[in-house]
Structure 1
Amino acid sequence: MNASRTMRPLPRAQCGSVMVLIVVALAAILLMAALALDGSHMLVNKTRLQNAVDAAALSGAKTLQQVMGSGNADSLAQDAARATFQLNAQAAGNDELAAALGEDPASLVQVDLAASVYGPFSFPGPTDARYVRVSVTQLPLTGFFWGLLQVFGNSSEKAVAAAATAGPSPTSPCNIAPLMVCGNPAQHQPDAGLFWGYRFGDLEVLKGSAGNAPAIGPGNFQLIRLGDSSGGADVREALAGGVEQCNSVGETVETEPGNTIGPVAQGFNTRFGQYSGALSNSGDRYPPDLITDYSAPRMTYNNSTAQVEYEGEVVNASDGNLSTASSALLDYNDWRQRVADCPNGCRSDGVFERRILKIVLGDCSGSSGGQVSVPVLGFGCFFLVQPLPTGAGNEAQIFGQFVSECEGDNVPDSNPVDDGGPQIIQLYKTYIDNNRTPSSDS
């Protein structure tokens, strides 16, 4: 080969081919940059939007649980959900969310209610609605290279969507009262509103007094031991809400014999903002309920007729209402309506549901006197109608109205609620139809 031979220049046609390859490569690089930048931007904002709707759904469901039964529960839940969404939109980094929301959350945030986690959802929803769905169908975003993607056939606008569903789930309580009422294992039909023999609004004696016929056997006044706690001091703290003991259905509880009048009243009455004895200065530890009013004089128990009376007349309970032949009494329905109007008329130092006790429902069949073990059937929520007098052993009854559900304080179940008792609000998968088809936006 001739070493002096020189390289021939490339033909002009080949130079043009290289230019085409360079242009294609640059276009591919730009397209990848567009996908990376706009895709990451969408992913970040999808996460932020999902967090906002999750929080809004939880807030709406929690509010619905608190105001259920009031005349405007649906609108209160909707307002709470949108207010929570707006607070999240105002957080650092959520500028695009805040800009899209503007001054009118209703234009972006849809809030619907349903009686089942599977729907159908609507607003205002059914009267027995317990689940809240919050959805944003389109949050428009800034398009950095989005126009370039549209050149390659993408005709959609740059936007993200999100949906979240929240509602109650059953839970076994931890902050439980040291009390037990006897349930009937043969009378448990939640779909028919019957829970171990109790129906909504029933007025029950949650703790007996001297002279009452004991349901568990001689010497018992419906007090139980929580864990290693025993004696009057522990009963006082437990009734005030200072002892945590997680119980489950199928376990047993030990009864605590004795009337324990003074400690019971001292712990119990903190829920009404009345402090005495060893709990005289315990308002910070044991705050009162939001509403502490009750009918005066107090209701009493007629041992000869086994009936609750008010000023000598029998107290009747009907669908959450309490009354005698001549007067209406302050009851659970009154409390519920007033709580729904908080903070108007509510105690500034009050806490929600301090007047609701979570109580063991036990199978008392075969129980005898003294300290005995009683199987746990379930847990009931009872509204406390009045505080206890102090020092009168024959007037130491605790009266409560049975309510089908209340606020829980333990780990939620994986399934939606289908029973009564303590419940906790949690997020669920969002479904788009009655066939339980999961939504791609949740």
Structure 2
Amino acid sequence: MFTIHKVLNQNKDKHHQGGNVLVLFVISLLALLTLASLALDGGHLLLNKGRLQNLVDAAALHAAKELDSGATRAQAETAAINLLQVNLAHTDQQELSRAIDLADIDETSTAVLSFEYSIDADPFLAVADPDAKFVKISLTQLSLDNFLANVFSFNKRVSATALAGPSTAIENCFTNLVPMAVCGTGNTTPFGLIHNSLYMMKIGSNTESAIGAGNFQLIRLENNSGAADIRTAMAGEDNIVKTCFTTGSDNESVPTEPGNSVGPVAQGLNTRMGFWNGPVNADEHPRDENICQGQKIEVADIEVDGVINSEALAEAYATKAYRASWYVDDNNKAIPSCTPPTAGLTANPQEDNFSHVLPASPGRRIMNVVIAKCDGETNGANNLDFLGVGCFFLTQKVEHKGQESYVIGEFIYDCSGGGNATLEPVDTPGPYKMVLYHVPGSTDS
């Protein structure tokens, strides 16, 4: 009897153990499903969060660049939305494309997209001031596809915010300068120059120098010396060694290059206009796509008693100059053509005014030029105070004659450039670039 009772108790214990194993198996299975859901849906969430952040970062930078170029808010927002649509069209963005509805965009926002503007990056205070150049773009609460998250009643949503705007003046080192200096002043922005106005970037032999005797507004870039270096720099070859300048009063960091250097200057710059003479060629130094020119601005048009006259330059701009704004508009026409100034156009005898095929290259007529402080008494090889760098549009080709070897350009803007920007934006003159800023209060921008 004892043996039979013992066997029955053992069978009963086995049934209890089997029930416990089943419970443990179910709990383990649920735990595995939970972990699988976290791994699968969590990874999917993080992947799309990163993709969305990249989209918004690019859109914010693009909008900030458009604002900096003079666009209205509506134009900047349209440009940002267009870029979003282009990026969303990529195959790896299909899920985000389904979640983002850009079909009904107005000037301020949609259900998922919003634009805000501020005078400063931090604190970011949304304002209606049209001068606010810091733009914040938000894409919020986008629903993503679920894999196992539905089992736990969890709906995945993702948001992203980006803030972009101009940096402060970057480190003043360059590899893309032309070796000329325009005279400016340091007490007004930008450097005392007027946007969309003509300036003499280099004088001819019979014009009084604003720098001093023996100087024709040429400067010496780092490790450059002689005619060959001037020619290649004017033609747009990057300088192997950076040229750096210091800032502040009495910095004397811009070395002058005495002499007229008629041939090297004309040979180098004229490659941008479709003329190749001397040891330069179209393959290494392509022309601009757009080489439209107005009637030649003669030195007699802009001088009064041997001195460059600002009123005469303004008159030449109004009647003879092919303008930078026309350059942009003409480039964007369905069928490119030259907008004629009042005095008419000068046809390029070598080629058509437009060419969108190699070796033509866009933007060659836009040049980075040093702006320096001139006192008229800096004679021979000497140094000028560095003020900044401006972007100038090359108005016309340069002649190979001494008194006519002057270079005229239109000041467009205080140009952006490469280098290392500081994190705190300050309204100071100098080259700058569009950068992303941390969004105040955000944990992931």
Which category of TM-score, normalised to the shorter sequence, fits these structures?
A: 0.7 to 0.9
- Is 1:410 matched with 2:419? yes
CA contact (8 A) 2:295 2:321 kept: no
Q: 1:111 to 1:233 in 2, by over 3 A?
A: farther
Deviations 1:259-289 (A, max 9, x none): 011211121122223333322x32x333334
CA contact (8 A) 2:117 2:126 kept: yes
Residue 79 of structure 1: how far off its partner (Å): 4.4
Match of 1:191 in 2: none
Distance 1:109 1:290 in 2: 40
CA contact (8 A) 2:245 2:254 kept: no
Match of 2:351 in 1: none
Distance 1:52 1:30 in 2: 32
- Paired letter, 1:361: I
Residue 39 of structure 1: how far off its partner (Å): 1.0
| Aligned pairs (5 A) from 1:45-64 | 45-64=48-67
Match of 2:285 in 1: 286
| Aligned pairs (5 A) from 1:102-121 | 104=103, 110=113, 112=115, 114=117, 116=119, 118=121
Q: 1:439 to 1:287 in 2, by over 3 A?
A: farther
Match of 2:386 in 1: 376
CA contact (8 A) 2:388 2:431 kept: no
Distance 2:289 2:422 in 1: 28
- Paired letter, 1:205: M
Distance 1:237 1:27 in 2: 72
2:201 aligns with one of 202, 206, 213: 206
Q: Secondary structure, in 3 states, of the residue corresponding to 2:36?
A: helix
Q: 1:425 to 1:414 in 2, by over 3 A?
A: same
1:159 aligns with one of 153, 157, 160: 157
Q: 1:419 to 1:287 in 2, by over 3 A?
A: farther
Q: Secondary structure, in 3 states, of the residue corresponding to 1:46?
A: helix
Residue 99 of structure 1: how far off its partner (Å): 3.3
Distance 1:428 1:344 in 2: 38
CA contact (8 A) 1:208 1:397 kept: yes
Q: 1:115 to 1:397 in 2, by over 3 A?
A: farther
| Aligned pairs (5 A) from 1:177-188 | 177-185=178-186, 187-188=187-188
- Paired letter, 2:322: L
Between 1:393-402 and 1:360-369, the stretch displaced more is 360-369
| Aligned pairs (5 A) from 1:2-401 | 8=10, 9-10=12-13, 22-65=25-68, 68-69=69-70, 74=73, 77-101=76-100, 104=103, 110=113, 112=115, 114=117, 116=119, 118=121, 127-128=130-131, 130-150=133-153, 154=154, 157-169=155-167, 170-171=169-170, 172=172, 173-185=174-186, 187-188=187-188, 194-244=189-239, 245-250=242-247, 252-279=253-280, 281-282=281-282, 284-300=283-299, 301-304=302-305, 306-308=307-309, 314-316=312-314, 322-323=317-318, 327=319, 329-338=321-330, 344-345=336-337, 347-349=355-357, 351-365=361-375, 368-391=378-401, 393-401=402-410
Distance 1:356 1:114 in 2: 29
Residue 256 of structure 1: how far off its partner (Å): 1.1
Deviations 1:38-74 (A, max 9, x none): 1111111111222222233334444555xx346xx55
Deviations 1:239-274 (A, max 9, x none): 111132332333613211110112111211222233
Residue 212 of structure 1: how far off its partner (Å): 1.8
Q: 1:83 to 1:53 in 2, by over 3 A?
A: same
Q: 1:98 to 1:197 in 2, by over 3 A?
A: closer
Distance 2:387 2:16 in 1: 89
Distance 1:230 1:108 in 2: 60
Q: Secondary structure, in 3 states, of the residue corresponding to 2:431?
A: strand
Q: 1:248 to 1:390 in 2, by over 3 A?
A: same
Distance 1:144 1:227 in 2: 60
Q: Secondary structure, in 3 states, of the residue corresponding to 1:224?
A: coil
Q: Which runs of 5+ in 1 are unaligned?
A: 189-193, 432-436
Residue 386 of structure 1: how far off its partner (Å): 2.2
Distance 1:109 1:339 in 2: 35
Q: 1:416 to 1:44 in 2, by over 3 A?
A: same
Residue 395 of structure 1: how far off its partner (Å): 1.9
CA contact (8 A) 2:207 2:308 kept: no
Residue 401 of structure 1: how far off its partner (Å): 3.1
Distance 2:238 2:53 in 1: 37
RMSD of the TM alignment (CA)?
3.7
Distance 1:348 1:233 in 2: 29
Q: Which runs of 5+ in 2 are unaligned?
A: 338-353
Q: Secondary structure, in 3 states, of the residue corresponding to 1:278?
A: coil
Residue 336 of structure 1: how far off its partner (Å): 4.6
Q: Secondary structure, in 3 states, of the residue corresponding to 2:279?
A: helix
Query: When the two structures are superposed, what TM-score results if normalisation uses the length of structure 2?
Result: 0.76
Q: 1:427 to 1:38 in 2, by over 3 A?
A: same
Distance 1:337 1:355 in 2: 15
CA contact (8 A) 2:64 2:135 kept: yes
- Paired letter, 2:176: N
CA contact (8 A) 2:368 2:389 kept: yes
Deviations 1:352-375 (A, max 9, x none): 543332222234459532211333
Residue 238 of structure 1: how far off its partner (Å): 0.7
Residue 294 of structure 1: how far off its partner (Å): 3.0
